[in-house]
Amino acid sequence: MRILKSSFAVVERRAEHAVKFFYSHLFWHNPELRALFPASPEDMERQRDRLFAALTHVVAHLESESLVPYLRDLGRDHRKYLVGPEHYAAVGASLFAALAETSGAAWTPAVEKAWTEAYGMIADAMTAGAAASTDPPWWDAEVIRHLRYGRDIGVLTLLPHAPLPYLPGQYVSVSSARVPTTWRTYCLGNAPRRDGTVDLHVSRIEGGRLSTVLVGEIQPGETLRLGAPGGRLTLRREDRPVTLIAAGTGWAPIRAMLEDLVQRPPDHDVRLFVVARDGAHLYDRPLIEEYAAGLDRLAVTYITPAPGRHRNEATDRLATALGNRGLWREQDVHLSGPPQFVEETAHLLEELGARPERLFYDALPAVGPERGRPLGFGEWFLNRPAPQWHNPSARDPRP
């Protein structure tokens, strides 16, 4: 394991070159694979980001028990890209070529042997996960309703053509024929319904091709593709009080869990904090009030900036509100929102006494337009761009 991590440290310093070499090598030697990847340069750039992020995750968790389940899930999920067992050899050959090119003299026979063994394990776990899955590669789903909240928020109600099994709080990846080969992650905004419909809450990202299509262009009757549900932000039905914290369209999974709590009321208290950039973006407030009236043990706190103040004041107000609440050690806390918001709020809650093992959230990648690309991915991981909120037009920097 040490030899792989040392080797990767060398590659990471030239990460940009490594991923570009990888894809150039892959498409030159396997031109038929190019059609499986995004056509636009911007989406291909994000694809390179995701590749290196996944590789970084694997190297960082080589000795973790969570790695094989992660790889099996990754293999199951990659079926939506039409990836088959025959593609792993081509990917492996291009990966080794990129590593060798980037490592220079550090690419020794011992390093090559270590990477070959590691990639064999990765490919075996991913192909096993794909082969073991009984789910379809994706679910086709018809858009049956499209609601707009201002110019930047859309709520789409979809009817999958086959039952979509999921838990409140989970997310799916979404693709549209309007933006071929592009997939983005969105949370499901409702608990399972008898009619099988699901809601997607989408925030338009400036420069985001798929989010722009989903919010402003998709019409009822069109079909979207949904990947397999995933995520650990699911409601734990323990005999403990629950705190739900949502910011932006991170409200969607919290809404799904709250809906489940209303349908099956718990015997413990539920605290809900809803954070928005201004009062106008509390687009589901009437529903929240309805839930609060029907669930006696639900306490709701809305967090917005003071009128005319910068939206960052909302997070300051949330910190104050959380600090004024007690009993954090007893709480199951579910967090959802922009990545930086989740990270900072989780850290604050731990300082307030919350147990790390009772903090539940999904670490989804930040998306948004580039503001000058970093020199390498090492710098990107250390200094990530700030997240987009509901309306990125204010450019306060969050598939």
Q: Is residue 87 one of the residues assigned to a domain?
A: yes
User: H/E element holding 148?
Assistant: strand 139-149
Strand partners, 270: 242, 298
Half-sphere exposure of 169 (CA within 13 A, CB side): 21
Q: Which of 108, 132, 156 is the last residue before a domain boundary?
A: 132
Residue 58, helix vs strand vs coil? helix
Q: Which of 99, 132, 165 is the last residue before a domain boundary?
A: 132
What confidence score (pLDDT) does residue 236 get? 84
CA atoms of 280 and 67, how far apart (whole Å): 42
Check: CB of residue 354 under 8 Å from CB of residue 331.
yes
Half-sphere exposure of 11 (CA within 13 A, CB side): 25
Sign of CA dihedral 225, 228, 233, 234: positive
Q: Are residue 23 and residue 117 in the same domain, yes or no?
A: yes
What confidence score (pLDDT) does residue 69 get? 87
Q: Which of 226, 256, 282 is the last residue before a domain boundary?
A: 226
* DSSP-derived pairing of the beta strands 270-275 and 198-203: unpaired
Strand partners, 383: none
Q: Is residue 153 one of the residues assigned to a domain?
A: yes
**Domain at 172, CATH number:** 2.40.30.10
What confidence score (pLDDT) does residue 381 get? 36
Which residues form the domain of 144?
139-226
Q: Is residue 327 one of the residues assigned to a domain?
A: yes
Q: Are residue 191 and residue 260 in the same domain, yes or no?
A: no
Q: How many independent structural domains does the chain possess? A: 3
**Domain at 302, CATH number:** 3.40.50.80
Q: Is residue 371 one of the residues assigned to a domain?
A: no
What confidence score (pLDDT) does residue 372 get? 36
Which tokens sit at 399? 């598939």
In sequence order, the 6+-apart residues with CB closer than 8 A to the CB of 378 are 12, 13, 15
The per-residue pLDDT string of the chain (399 residues; one tens digit each, 9 = 90 and over) reads 788 888 888 888 888 888 899 999 999 999 998 888 877 777 787 778 878 888 888 888 888 888 898 899 888 888 888 888 889 999 999 999 999 999 999 999 999 999 999 999 999 999 999 999 888 999 999 999 999 988 888 999 999 999 999 999 999 999 999 998 888 889 999 999 999 999 999 988 887 889 999 999 999 999 999 998 988 888 888 888 999 999 987 899 999 999 999 999 888 899 999 998 777 778 889 999 999 988 888 999 999 887 666 667 788 899 999 999 888 999 999 999 888 888 899 999 999 999 999 999 986 544 443 333 333 333 333 343 333 322 222 222 222
Q: Are residue 122 and residue 201 in the same domain, yes or no?
A: no
**How far is residue 49 CA from its own chain's centroid?**
14
Q: Are residue 209 and residue 276 in the same domain, yes or no?
A: no
Q: Are residue 159 and residue 274 in the same domain, yes or no?
A: no
Q: Is residue 235 one of the residues assigned to a domain?
A: no
Q: Are residue 37 and residue 145 in the same domain, yes or no?
A: no
What confidence score (pLDDT) does residue 38 get? 79
**Domain at 30, CATH number:** 1.10.490.10
Q: Are residue 251 and residue 340 in the same domain, yes or no?
A: yes
What confidence score (pLDDT) does residue 111 get? 93
Closest CA to 170 of 154, 184, 188, 152: 188
Q: Are residue 168 and residue 100 in the same domain, yes or no?
A: no
Q: Is residue 198 one of the residues assigned to a domain?
A: yes
Q: Are residue 43 and residue 106 in the same domain, yes or no?
A: yes
What confidence score (pLDDT) does residue 135 get? 86
Q: Is residue 384 one of the residues assigned to a domain?
A: no
Q: Are residue 117 and residue 153 in the same domain, yes or no?
A: no
Q: Is residue 98 one of the residues assigned to a domain?
A: yes
Q: Are residue 150 and residue 123 in the same domain, yes or no?
A: no
What confidence score (pLDDT) does residue 150 get? 82
Q: Are residue 192 and residue 303 in the same domain, yes or no?
A: no
In which residue are the tokens 């858009």 written?
Answer: 143
CA atoms of 280 and 303, how far apart (whole Å): 12
